[in-house]
Amino acid sequence: MEMSKDGFEKGVFWELFKDLESQFQRFLEYVPYFDENKNVRSFKLLNLILSIGGYVDSAFKEMARYPDFSEDDNCREILQKLEMSEENIKEGKAPITVPIWLSLMAFENIYKLSEKQVIFKRIPQRKTIIPFKPHNLETNEPKWWGIYNGLKHDLKVNISEANLQNTLHALASAFLLNAVHRPSALRLFSYRVLRVQYTAADSFNTMSPTKSNMKVVRDWLKTEKGVRGGIVETPLFIYYFENKK
């Protein structure tokens, strides 16, 4: 029986990410990412970081719905909270928020998000980012998430944090979720955005997404066997899947 496709499998989240990335690219045309510019702030960046935070929050909820994670206790708790929230809304009550620590715990167990590195293709040298590096010791949330949350709840106090560096880290987080989440990565392979490497001697190639190749990549994403490594690249970012011997 064919599974119903979610927002990642349909490519919706990828298209939304590409729009966010394009907005940031346009900003970089006027304010390039040099160290002396990283604290530059603007209303455009403020709007962008708010959009990215909402995007990541929605992405986590969609990831929790993925059938492969139906037995994961944290994902089930996320879905229970979402169901209770819908019931509250129907009854005219306040919705229930899924706390960030719960989503981070769920996908730390599955994808080791706090360890994943993203390359930002900055000029003159590239920059390594760990988008989900814990900053808040109680929630394990990254620094940019606390800034997003602060902007959402008290714009006047936190507006100075809507700067180039924090927006970059937020956007890198959105990119990373698209790269590592299995149905998204498979969709990117079908788009020829994810390129794979079979052996140590091979370079990353853009093999055709035939039915048999899709199965190879699907199995690799689930078991980390059958393919040595992979790369996802956009105009701004690169993610390398860890090479396996």
pLDDT at 186: 95
Q: Where are the alpha helices (DSSP H) in 4-116?
A: 12-30, 43-64, 73-90, 100-111
pLDDT at 244: 53
pLDDT at 43: 93
Sequence ranges of the domains in the chain: 12-240
- SS3 of residue 96 by DSSP: coil
Decide if 50 contacts 221 (C-beta within 8 A): no
CA atoms within 13 A on the CB side of 97: 6
> Could you tell me the two tokens for 109?
């167990």
pLDDT at 59: 98
Supply the DSSP string of 129-167, one letter for each residue: E-TT----TTT---HHHHHHHHHHH-HHHHGGG-BHHHH
Query: In angstroms, rounded to a whole number, what is the distance separating the alpha carbons of residues 84 and 160?
Result: 36
Residue by residue, pLDDT tens for the chain (245 residues) are 344 568 999 999 999 999 999 999 999 999 999 999 999 999 999 999 999 999 999 999 999 999 999 999 999 999 999 999 998 888 888 888 999 999 999 999 999 999 999 999 988 889 999 999 999 989 999 999 999 999 988 877 678 889 999 999 999 999 999 999 999 999 999 999 999 987 766 777 767 888 988 998 999 998 888 888 899 999 999 999 975 54
**pTM score:** 0.93
